[in-house]
Amino acid sequence: MNKKLTAGAILAIVVVVGGYTIFNRHSKESVGNTLNITVQSPITTLDPNFADDVGSNWAEVQTLEGLYTTGKNGDIVAGVAKNIVKPTQNNTVYTIKLKQNQKWSDGKKVTAKDFVSSVQRQVNPVYKSTRANHFKDIANYDAVHNKGANVKQLGISAPDSETVKITLSHPVPYFNFILANQLYPINTDKVKSYGKKYGQTAATTVSNGAYSIKKWNQSATTWQFEKNPYYADAKKVHYKTIKATVVTDSTLASKQYLSGKVDEAVISGDIIAKLKEKNAADIQSKQTGRVAFITWNSKDKIAGNTNFKRAISYAIDRKVLAEQTLQDGSTAAKSIVPSGEVKIGGKDFNDGLNLPFDKAKAQQYLAQAQQEIGQKKLTLTLNMADTDAYKALGVYLKQRIESVLPDVTINLNRMPLTAEISAFNNRNFQAGTLSWSTDYNDPSDFLDMAYSDGAINFTKWQNKEYDALIGKISEQGEANDQRFKLEKQAAKLNNDLNGVTPLYQAANVHLLKKSVRNLNYPVVGYQNYKYAE
């Protein structure tokens, strides 16, 4: 890593980005241990039982710590737990002891009950959590979530205040990732006090991680992460304050970075190609385990028609989309599962899978759809978040689909991500673009998006063959070729039937000052500022 620049040293050069003349101040070291950053997604909630969007999941990493957590390089390490345990009883029982010095940001002790209450609340159907399915492998999940059994029957308990016992219905090869990236505690007392307001504003949010959030509510476009003095490893946290601003326009974000106003900026779109000319050293671009896709309302006459969805899929040239439209390191999706996640027999999971552009097939399937729907002219309203990447995606999809399929009209409905998520949850949409990134290295999290009982299946699409494959996958307790082959069959079936329609595998692109060290961008999960120096 490069050494930090001497405080006060500024090198100013004039560069032109996207028609704007701006100053590049290769920055002085962050003043007062403050890191200034831009992000593209707002935080919709800091209640871990309901966080199901990129902005909120990223914020969880900064403010909460699970039984396990991830190290600076993305490996699984002990968090609130004393150590990583070896499961017993055929790898189905985890008995985890807590460290004694763990506290919430209000100074109260973190207890085993805080983890048990979190899981019970997330699975309890009364709360309608879209994250419930993340705990589907815990014993009696189906009885509690789907059949109304008492939540205390769920396979998680606290034998004492410093012990969490978790019983699974079957061995889960990636469960350590769930413990690190999904199972976060809630402050049981504060949930009772705040009710539905818990995690909705800075004042009603309690943290047990490296940072607490300040000056935030659900409509905020700026906020601060302040170092949590009660965090057990607070002495190892370098930055006292992280000041975040939502900037959805990458040109504006890059201007703020190049002028020295921010130390890190999330960027996307064609601005990246321009920045590579003179600022390549500042660009951190990593392939991520995040896939963008179209989600369809299966109850809609047009969007729910399989042949219409097939026509749309074949009309899209994903290579052109990734390489010429997005130009940010993204790659064409081969399935809903990202490439580079797992291998089968030494070959990538997606080897042999593809989502080709085929004009003839697109038009053939559209003709079948028109006959089935009983309409020649078909209109689709496509919701999408108002970020640069999605703006470019929307323009491409509209132009490409209407060019290949003249009888189809695409109406783009751009909206804030929070509004789009709300539309999905309320079933108030026809189709929409979305992306999903996993917190564990198994394809099942992506396949779950088309599973009829999946917590993140906004489409409510159902297919017996697909559901049967998901059931068989759940019976496989080891991360081996047998499991991955079943998952590949499910991915191939989704490619054909378009439960959801994969588009591209995203790249994670940031501008980052050379003075900031040890801030890594893992394939699975998010950067953690507690490691930054």
Whether residue 218 lies inside any domain: the answer is yes
Q: What is the pLDDT of residue 366?
A: 98
Q: Tell me which of 477 and 190 has the higher pLDDT.
A: 190
Q: Please tell me whether residues 76 and 153 are part of one structural domain.
A: yes
**pLDDT beyond 50 at 125:** yes
C-alpha torsion 489→394→524→416, nearest 10:
-130
Whether residue 16 lies inside any domain: the answer is no
What is the percent of the chain with per-residue pLDDT over 90, rounded to a whole number?
Answer: 75
Q: Please tell me whether residues 185 and 294 are part of one structural domain.
A: no
Q: Please tell me whether residues 70 and 161 are part of one structural domain.
A: yes
Spatial distance between the Cα atoms of 286 and 295, rounded to a whole number of angstroms:
25
Report the range of poorest mean pLDDT among 134-143, 261-270, 355-364: 261-270
Q: Please tell me whether residues 333 and 404 are part of one structural domain.
A: yes
Q: What CATH number is associated with residue 68?
A: 3.90.76.10
Q: What is the pLDDT of residue 455?
A: 64
Average pLDDT over the chain reads 90
**pLDDT beyond 60 at 358:** yes
CA nearest 76: which of 183, 202, 186? 183
Spatial distance between the Cα atoms of 65 and 231, rounded to a whole number of angstroms:
10
What is the percent of the chain with per-residue pLDDT over 70, rounded to a whole number?
Answer: 94
Cα distances from 360 to residues 310, 324, 404, in angstroms, run 12, 23, 9
pLDDT digits (tens, 9 = 90+) for 409-468: 999 999 987 788 889 888 899 999 998 887 777 899 899 999 998 767 888 899 999 999
Q: What is the pLDDT of residue 201?
A: 98
Whether residue 527 lies inside any domain: the answer is no
The residue segments making up the domain with residue 162 are 54-227
**pLDDT beyond 70 at 20:** no
Q: What is the pLDDT of residue 388?
A: 72
**pLDDT beyond 90 at 74:** no
**pLDDT beyond 50 at 119:** yes
Give mean pLDDT, residues 367-389: 94
Give mean pLDDT, residues 132-158: 95
Q: Please tell me whether residues 197 and 294 are part of one structural domain.
A: no
Angle at 499 between CA 497 and CA 503, to 5 degrees: 95
Q: Please tell me whether residues 475 and 387 are part of one structural domain.
A: yes
Q: Please tell me whether residues 223 and 295 are part of one structural domain.
A: no
* Cβ-based neighbours of 421, under 8 Å, separated by 6 or more: 44, 52, 53
Q: What is the pLDDT of residue 450?
A: 93
Whether residue 146 lies inside any domain: the answer is yes
Lookup: tokens for 331: 């790659």
Report the relative pairing of strands 76-78 and 68-70 from DSSP bridges: antiparallel
Q: Please tell me whether residues 146 and 222 are part of one structural domain.
A: yes
Whether residue 169 lies inside any domain: the answer is yes
Q: What is the pLDDT of residue 515?
A: 93
**pLDDT beyond 90 at 108:** yes
Q: DSSP string of 446-465?
A: HHGGGSTT-TT-TT----HH
pLDDT band at 307, cuts 50/70/90? very high
Whether residue 281 lies inside any domain: the answer is no
Give mean pLDDT, residues 166-183: 93
Q: Which residues pair with 100 in a beta bridge?
A: none
CA 394 to chain centre: 20
Residue 369: helix, strand or coil by DSSP? Answer: helix
Give mean pLDDT, residues 64-82: 94
Whether residue 21 lies inside any domain: the answer is no
Which residue type, as a one-letter code, is found at position 266? V
**pLDDT beyond 70 at 251:** yes
Work out how many domains the chain is built from and give that number: 2
**pLDDT beyond 50 at 23:** no
**pLDDT beyond 70 at 32:** no
Report the range of poorest mean pLDDT among 152-156, 177-181, 492-496: 177-181
Q: What is the pLDDT of residue 347?
A: 95
Q: Please tell me whether residues 204 and 328 are part of one structural domain.
A: no
**pLDDT beyond 50 at 166:** yes
Give mean pLDDT, residues 218-228: 97
Cα distances from 327 to residues 249, 252, 312, 315, 331, in angstroms, run 15, 18, 22, 20, 9
Cβ distance 401 to 411 under 8 Å?
no
**pLDDT beyond 50 at 402:** yes
Q: Which residues pair with 165 in a beta bridge?
A: 95, 157
End-of-domain residue from the set 227, 246, 268: 227
**pLDDT beyond 60 at 41:** yes
Q: Please tell me whether residues 217 and 293 are part of one structural domain.
A: no
Whether residue 59 lies inside any domain: the answer is yes
pLDDT band at 51, cuts 50/70/90? very high
Q: Which residues pair with 242 in a beta bridge?
A: 35, 225
Cβ distance 382 to 410 under 8 Å?
yes
- Where would I find the beta strands (DSSP E) of 277-427? 283-296, 331-332, 343-344, 347-348, 378-385, 408-415
Q: Please tell me whether residues 184 and 296 are part of one structural domain.
A: no
Q: Please tell me whether residues 223 and 303 are part of one structural domain.
A: no
End-of-domain residue from the set 227, 242, 275: 227
Q: DSSP string of 462-477?
A: --HHHHHHHHHHHT--
Q: What CATH number is associated with residue 486?
A: 3.10.105.10
Alpha helices in 242-315 (DSSP H): 250-258, 271-279, 306-315
pLDDT band at 479, cuts 50/70/90? confident
**pLDDT beyond 80 at 19:** no
